[in-house]
Amino acid sequence: MKRTIVFGVCLGFALMLSGCGAGDVGGNLETSETNLTMNQDNYENNLDGLAKFMKDNNLISGDGKETLASFIYAEKGVKYQFKNNSSLVTIEFYDYGEGEISESANKIIESVKTEGKINILDKDFSACMNGSGRYLMIYNDLSTNSENISKAEKTKEIFSQFKS
Domain span at residue 46?
2-161
Condensed to tens digits (0 to 9), the pLDDT of residues 33-46 reads 445 667 888 899 99
Report which DSSP code applies to 29. P
Report which DSSP code applies to 152. H
pTM of the model: 0.79
Number of domains the chain contains = 1
CB 7 within 8 A of CB 14: no
Nearest Cα to 22, choosing from 52, 65, 54, 53?
Answer: 65
Condensed to tens digits (0 to 9), the pLDDT of residues 48-82 reads 999 999 999 999 999 999 999 999 999 999 999 99
Q: Residues with Cβ < 8 Å from 103, sequence gap 6 or more?
A: none
